A and B are shown apart, each in its own frame.
Chain A
Amino acid sequence: AQSVTQLGSHVSVSEGALVLLRCNYSSSVPPYLFWYVQYPNQGLQLLLKYTSAATLVKGINGFEAEFKKSETSFHLTKPSAHMSDAAEYFCAVSLTTDSWGKLQFGAGTQVVVTP
């Protein structure tokens, strides 16, 4: 079984400041890990994914995340927040042994960007 915990349901950051969204997972086998972003009344857009290659993963819109096996973490960062980053962010895990590749999502973190 696997699960995802996102620390902080709401995060407020100033424009230009660092964005840090925390994600911890539990998994009985090596995981695949993902970050998705969701804008109001929209579906989810893939930001980046870890699939057992490089542990530092770069995604779209200037986001990146680092897989740390020892800490079972996959935190998402962006050096400088833009107003357009205001959205909800979801961390998700999939088991490498799951042939069907279904995703287990965290509860999400709502990001507010203030001028």
Chain B
Amino acid sequence: DTGVSQNPRHKITKRGQNVTFRCDPISEHNRLYWYRQTLGQGPEFLTYFQNEAQLEKSRLLSDRFSAERPKGSFSTLEIQRTEQGDSAMYLCATGTGGDYGYTFGSGTRLTVV
């Protein structure tokens, strides 16, 4: 158990490019969440997976955002046609439910220039 792993840690991209982030959860964790954190704010919920099923998406998740968890293990978050407003820390959290105390990864910091 090495915790929740997120890659890359940092990503700088030009406006209009597509980016993809990856989250590897703790192996027995069936719940997986993506959050977005902008400077000076708390994290905001983006989407939730239970195993491979995406069960909830926030209104923050525009059509340019897509997330997958194909085999109920790792997850990817893709942003198409990035905009400067997408610059943020993207956090992945996983857990088993019940106690609702999730484990967060270290995040991917995206900078759109």
Contacts and interface: CB of A to CB of B under 8 A. Distances in A.
Interface of A: 4, 9, 32, 34, 36, 41-46, 49, 51, 90, 92, 94, 100-108
A44 B97 contact: no
Interface residues of B, number: 29
Interface of B: 4, 6, 31, 33, 35, 40-45, 48, 50, 55-56, 91, 93, 95, 97, 99-107, 109
Nearest to A48: B101
Chain B interface, DSSP helix/strand/loop, else mixed = strand
B45 A103 contact: yes
A108 B101 contact: no
Contacts of A43: 4, 6, 91, 104-107
Contact of B44 (A9, A94, A105): A105
Contacts, number: 66
A51 B42 contact: no
Given A42-B106, A43-B4, A107 B41 contact: yes
22 contacts: A4-B42, A34-B100, A34-B101, A36-B104, A41-B109, A42-B107, A43-B91, A44-B91, A46-B101, A100-B31, A100-B55, A101-B48, A101-B97, A102-B33, A102-B45, A102-B48, A103-B35, A103-B45, A104-B45, A106-B42, A107-B41, A108-B42
A107 B4 contact: no
Contact of A32 (B31, B45, B100): B100
Contact of B100 (A9, A94, A106): A94
